[in-house]
Structure 1
Amino acid sequence: MKTPLAWFLLVVLLAVSCLGAAQEEDEEETRWYTVDAVNAGLGEPPEEVQRETPRDAVRSFMELTEEEDYAVAAHLLNLNDLTLEEQAERGAILARQLAAVLQRGEWINLSGLSARKNAMVEGSSGEESRAGEPRRDVELATLEVDDQSYMLRVSRYRVGEQDAVWLIAPETLTAIPDLYEKYGPSWLEGHIPERFQSSIGMLKIWEWVAIPVFLFITGAVGWTVHGLMGLLASRLPPGLPSVFAQMIRLPMAFIVMALHAQWLLDYVVAFSGVVTAPLQVVLIIIMAWGVGLIAVRLVDAFLIRMSRRFVGEIDDTRHRDERNLLTTLYALRRAVILVTVLGVAVFVIAQVSIFESLGMTLLASASVLTVLVGVAGQAVLGNILASFQVSLTKAIRIGDLVVFEGHWSYVEAIYYTYIRLRTWDERRLIVPVRYFVSKPYENLSSKHAKLYRTIVLTLHLSADVATLREKFKEFAMAEEQVIEHHKLLCYVTGQHEATQEISFYLMGPEAMGAWEAEARVREKLLAFIRDHHPEWWPREVVVLSHHDIARGDTPAKRRLRRPATVQEVDESSATGDEPSSPE
C-alpha cells in the first residue's frame, strides 16, 4: 500500500512542478522578447546609453540625437532585421531620420512614459483594467502618412541571462523612410545656415523667428479673404446672395487661413513637434468650426428667404399656418446648430490623435464631468431644453401677440436661451426662455387673432340707450377694422345715483386693429353726444330750499360764494347771522 501511494504523490509533485515551470516560462515571455543578440554589428554600447526603462531609452535617444551623436544613438534601435554590415552603415542614418520624425511629427511627453523596468501599468495611466500588469511593448506615438497609420513603439528584449533592455522596435524602423519623407526637414530648413540650427529652449533659433512670420502671413491671408468677401457681397445684386456672402465672410477667412497654414506646414516649413502638435489641433478645430458655421449660415439664409416669401412682416395678421411655418424653421435652425456642434466635436476627436490618450481619461471621469457641466451650465441647459419645448408644443409662435408682464408684444424670435419680443412702440424685450415659460402670459393669437374691445361711457340717467345703440352700430360698421357686425353689442352695465355706465362691444381682426377701431368709434360717440345731446353728460344736481329761492340764491352764486372762515362761523353763531358772502 505504501509503494503505490508514494508513486502517486511523486507523480503529483512532478506535475505541479512542470506546471509551475511552464507558468513561469509564460510569464517571462510576457515580460520581454527573447533574442539571440542585440545589434551585434554595432559593438558594445557606451556608458551614456541608458536602456533599462522605456523613459530612460527614449530620453537617452533624444539627448544623443540632439548632440548629433547618431552613431551612439543607434544602440537604442533594434537593428536585428539588418545584417551586421548594414547595422554599422545604416544605424546612424536611421537614428538621424527617426530623431527628425520625432521632433516634427509628434511631441513625446517623457513624464508620461513608465520609469519601471517592466513598464507595469499603473492605475492612474487610464488603463485601470490592466493595472499591475507588466508590459513588453510601450507605444510612443501614432503618425499618419497617406491615410496609413504607423505606430512608434519601444519593446523589451533579453539576450540569454543578461538584463533586459528597451529598444526602438524593428516595426518602427521599417516605417522610418516613409515617415521621414513627410516629417523630415522642410525646403526652407535646407536653406537655413548651420549656426541657426542650434536650439534655445524647446525650439531652434530659426523657429523663434519663423513662427511669428508664419502667423503674420497666415493672418494677412485671412484678412485679405475677409476683405475680398466683403467686396464680393457689395458687388452682388441686393438680395439673398449678397446677404449670404456677407454672412460667411468670417468663417471663409478662417477656413482659408487654416488651409494656407496647413500647406505651409506640408511643403514649405516644418516646426518642432512641440509646436506642430498643438498647431495641428488648432487648424483642425478651425476648419471644422468654419465648415459648421457656413452650414449654419446657409440655414439662416434659407430661413430668411422662407420667412420673406411665405410670412413677411412678423405679426399676428398672418395666417396661423404661416406663423407655424416660421416657428418650425427657427426650431430647425436650432436643431441644425446642435447637430453641427456634435458633428464638429466628433470630427475633431476622430482626427486629432492627441485625443486618443485623452479619450480614456475623459471617459473614466465622465461622471465627474457630467456633474460639473450640469451644475455650471444648469441655466444654459435649462434654457435650451425650454426652447425646444416651446418650439415643439407651439405654445407660442413667431408672430403671436402676447401680453407678458403688462407688455403687449409680438414674438419676434425664439433662440436657444432667450425669446425676443417686439413691443408696440418698437422696443425689444429679451426674456430668458425659462423665465418666460415659468410666468403666466396671455397669448392673444393662440387660436385666432380676433379680439373683442369694450368702450365704456358714463352718462346721465336721461341718456337714450336705444339712440346710442343705433349710432354705435352705424359708426362701427363704417370702420374697416371692425368685423362680425352681428356681434356688435350695447348694454347698460352699471348705474349710480345720477349716472349710468353704457358699454359698447366690437370685434377686430387682430389686437392692434381692434384697439384702433375702438379709439375711433369712441371719438365719434363723444362727438355725437357733444353736438346733439350735451344734456346727457353727467351733471351735478343741486336742490334749493324755499329760503334760498326767497333770497334769490342760484347754483352759480352758491358756487361763487367763498367758504366761511372759522372766525366768521363763530361770530355768526354768536349773533345768529349767516357769514357774509363775496357779494
Structure 2
Amino acid sequence: MSLRTWPGLAISCLLAIVAAVLITAIVGLILRSVGRRREWPALLIKRARVPFRLFIAVIALWIAVTISLPAEATADWADGIHHAFLILAIATGVWFAAALAVFVEDLGLARYRVDVPDNRYARKVRTQVLIIRRLTVVAAVVIGLGAVLLTFPALQAAGASILASAGVIGIIAGVAAQSSLANLFAGIQLAFSDAIRIDDVVVVEQQWGTVEEITLTYVVVHIWDDRRLVLPSTQFTTKPFENWTRQHSELLGSVEFDLDWRVSPGGMRAELNRVLAGTDLWDGRTGVLQVTDAVGGWVRVRVLVTARDAPTLFDLRCLVRERLIDWMQRYSDASLPRTRVEMVAAPERTVPTARAQAHTADDARLFGGSPEAEQRAAQFTDAIPIQADPGESAEKAAGPSASRRNDPDAPLN
C-alpha cells in the first residue's frame, strides 16, 4: 500500500469515530428523554454504555477501513486487518450482549425489594437471579472465546480431532475436577431448591450470621461480629444447618433464671408484662413466664418472648434479662439465688480405758474371750473323737519298768 493512501485511510477512520460518537449520543439522548418518566433507561445506560460505544466504534472503523483499502493492497495484509476487526467485533459484541442480559436481570431484581419485613419471596427470586447472572456471564465468555478461536483456519481444520477426543478429555477433566464440579452443581441446586436465600439467618459450623453471597462454588455468611465465613456450596447440601428464616423471620426465644425458693413468680410476671409493654422490640405474639423446674436448691424460671427477626430477638432477650435482674435487686432481693450452709457442732470424743479396750477386743472374738464363746468352741472340738495309738496305750499300761526293759540306755532309778 502506497503512502498516498494513508491520508484517505486516516480521514475515513476519523469520520467513522465521529459517526460512532454521534450514534451513541443520539441513542443516549433518546434514553434520557424516556428516563424522565421511567427508571429503566438510566439502568440500561449504566450497564451497557461502555460496551455499546466500543461495539459501535469497532463496527464503524471496520467499515471505514474496508472502504478505504486500495485495490492494490495485498491479500494477506487485508485479510489480517479483517481478521483483527472480526475478533474485536466478536469480543465487544459478546460484552454488549452480556451487559444487556445483566440489564434484564436487574429489571427483575428491581421488582422485588428485600428491605421490607415480609421479603421471603423477594429473597428467593434475588438468589436465583444472581445465580443466573453468573451463569450468563460464564456462558457469554465461553461462547465468545469459542467464536474467536473458530476464526482461525488451523483450529477449524482441527475441529474434527478435537471433537473426537472430547469424550476422553471430558472424563479426565471430570475426575480431576470432581470437587469443583460437585461445588458447581451444589451451587445450582442451592439456587433453585430454596434451601437458603440471600439475607437468610443461618447457624452453620456453630456460627450465627446472614447469607451475604451465593456463588456457583461457595457461600459467604456474614457473621454477627462482622466476620465472613466462606463455605463451599457442598456444605449446605451434605451437612445439616439451621435456617431461622426458612418460612418467616419471626422467632421465639427464652430467658432462664435459677432463683431462690422465696421467689415470687407473680411479681416477676407482672414486671415482665410492664417491660414488654414499654418496648418496640416485642412483636406482641408471645410473652409468658413459667416455673419449669423446682428441684434441689433452685427454682428454674423461664421467660418466652417473640420478635420479628433474629437480631431483634437477641436485643429483646438481653433487655428482659437486664430489667428482671434489676427488679429483683430493687424490690425482691429474697429471690436472688443463695447457698445455705448448716453449722452442726461436732460430738465429744472419749478415750476408752485399757479394760474397755480389752473388753471390746474380747467381744470381737467368736470362739474365745467369754463363757459363751468358750462353750461355742467346745461344741466344735468335743464333737471330734480323739483316737489313741495302740502302742502308746500298751506302754502306758506296763508302766515305767517296761519302758526301761525296752530301752537299755535308759537310766536306773
TM-score range, shorter chain: 0.5 to 0.7
Match of 2:327 in 1: 528
Establish whether residue 310 from structure 1 lines up as the match of residue 122 from structure 2.
no
- TM-score normalised by L of structure 2: 0.64
Match of 2:241 in 1: 441
Aligned equivalents of 2:85 and 2:309: distance in 1? 53
Code of the residue aligned with 2:97 in structure 1: it is A
Aligned equivalents of 2:315 and 2:106: distance in 1? 31
Aligned equivalents of 1:385 and 1:462: distance in 2? 60
Q: Is the 8 A contact 1:296 1:333 kept in 2?
A: no
Measured against aligned partners, the alpha-carbon deviations of 1:199-221 in whole angstroms (never above 9, x if no partner) come to xxxxxxx9xxxxxx9xxx9xx99
Measured against aligned partners, the alpha-carbon deviations of 1:417-469 in whole angstroms (never above 9, x if no partner) come to 33233333444444332344344321111122222211012222211223323
Measured against aligned partners, the alpha-carbon deviations of 1:264-312 in whole angstroms (never above 9, x if no partner) come to 5423458866676676555434433333333333343344444344213
From 368, 384, 407, the equivalent of 2:184 is 384
Larger radius of gyration: 2
Match of 1:301 in 2: 103
- Name the SS for the 1:398 alignment partner: coil
**Displacement after TM superposition at 1:242 (Å):** 4.6
- Name the SS for the 2:282 alignment partner: coil
- Name the SS for the 1:488 alignment partner: strand
Aligned equivalents of 1:440 and 1:433: distance in 2? 13
- Name the SS for the 1:471 alignment partner: helix
Aligned equivalents of 1:380 and 1:360: distance in 2? 28
Match of 1:537 in 2: 336
Q: Is the 8 A contact 2:258 2:299 kept in 1?
A: yes
Aligned equivalents of 2:81 and 2:166: distance in 1? 27
Q: Is the 8 A contact 1:493 1:503 kept in 2?
A: no
Aligned equivalents of 2:300 and 2:337: distance in 1? 11
Establish whether residue 408 from structure 1 lines up as the match of residue 208 from structure 2.
yes
From 245, 256, 269, the equivalent of 1:469 is 269
**Displacement after TM superposition at 1:249 (Å):** 5.1
**Displacement after TM superposition at 1:529 (Å):** 0.9
Q: Is the 8 A contact 2:287 2:306 kept in 1?
A: yes
Aligned equivalents of 1:282 and 1:401: distance in 2? 51
Q: Is the 8 A contact 1:414 1:420 kept in 2?
A: yes
Code of the residue aligned with 1:295 in structure 2: it is A
Aligned in 2, Cα 1:488/1:441: closer, same or farther, shift over 3 Å? Answer: same
Match of 1:555 in 2: none
Aligned in 2, Cα 1:474/1:281: closer, same or farther, shift over 3 Å? Answer: farther
Q: Is the 8 A contact 1:254 1:286 kept in 2?
A: no
Q: Is the 8 A contact 2:252 2:306 kept in 1?
A: yes
Establish whether residue 492 from structure 1 lines up as the match of residue 292 from structure 2.
yes
Q: Is the 8 A contact 1:493 1:501 kept in 2?
A: yes
Aligned in 2, Cα 1:448/1:362: closer, same or farther, shift over 3 Å? Answer: same
Aligned in 2, Cα 1:419/1:290: closer, same or farther, shift over 3 Å? Answer: farther
Measured against aligned partners, the alpha-carbon deviations of 1:82-128 in whole angstroms (never above 9, x if no partner) come to xxxxxxxxxxxxxxxxxxxxxxxxxxxxxxxxxxxxxxxxxxxxxxx
Aligned in 2, Cα 1:382/1:295: closer, same or farther, shift over 3 Å? Answer: farther
Aligned equivalents of 2:290 and 2:81: distance in 1? 78
Establish whether residue 263 from structure 1 lines up as the match of residue 63 from structure 2.
yes
Q: Is the 8 A contact 2:109 2:126 kept in 1?
A: yes
Q: CA RMSD in A?
A: 4.4
Aligned in 2, Cα 1:486/1:257: closer, same or farther, shift over 3 Å? Answer: closer
Aligned equivalents of 2:92 and 2:199: distance in 1? 32
Aligned in 2, Cα 1:274/1:405: closer, same or farther, shift over 3 Å? Answer: farther
Aligned equivalents of 2:220 and 2:97: distance in 1? 24
- TM-score normalised by L of structure 1: 0.48
**Displacement after TM superposition at 1:359 (Å):** 1.5
Q: Is the 8 A contact 2:255 2:321 kept in 1?
A: yes
Aligned equivalents of 1:406 and 1:283: distance in 2? 56
- Name the SS for the 1:445 alignment partner: coil
**Displacement after TM superposition at 1:240 (Å):** 5.6
Establish whether residue 517 from structure 1 lines up as the match of residue 316 from structure 2.
yes
Aligned equivalents of 2:158 and 2:307: distance in 1? 64
Code of the residue aligned with 2:237 in structure 1: it is V
Aligned in 2, Cα 1:244/1:417: closer, same or farther, shift over 3 Å? Answer: farther
Measured against aligned partners, the alpha-carbon deviations of 1:204-241 in whole angstroms (never above 9, x if no partner) come to xx9xxxxxx9xxx9xx99xx99xx9xx9999x999764
Aligned equivalents of 2:239 and 2:290: distance in 1? 35
- Name the SS for the 1:397 alignment partner: coil
From 393, 398, 409, the equivalent of 2:193 is 393
Match of 1:190 in 2: 2
Aligned equivalents of 2:220 and 2:80: distance in 1? 40
Code of the residue aligned with 2:206 in structure 1: it is G
Aligned equivalents of 1:383 and 1:528: distance in 2? 53
Match of 1:123 in 2: none
- Name the SS for the 1:311 alignment partner: coil
Establish whether residue 284 from structure 1 lines up as the match of residue 96 from structure 2.
no
Q: Is the 8 A contact 1:292 1:344 kept in 2?
A: yes
**Displacement after TM superposition at 1:546 (Å):** 7.0
Code of the residue aligned with 2:253 in structure 1: it is R
Measured against aligned partners, the alpha-carbon deviations of 1:38-77 in whole angstroms (never above 9, x if no partner) come to xxxxxxxxxxxxxxxxxxxxxxxxxxxxxxxxxxxxxxxx
Aligned equivalents of 2:104 and 2:227: distance in 1? 27
Identity between Structure 1 and Structure 2 (%): 21
Match of 2:166 in 1: 366
Aligned equivalents of 1:430 and 1:360: distance in 2? 42
- Name the SS for the 2:234 alignment partner: helix
- Name the SS for the 1:505 alignment partner: strand
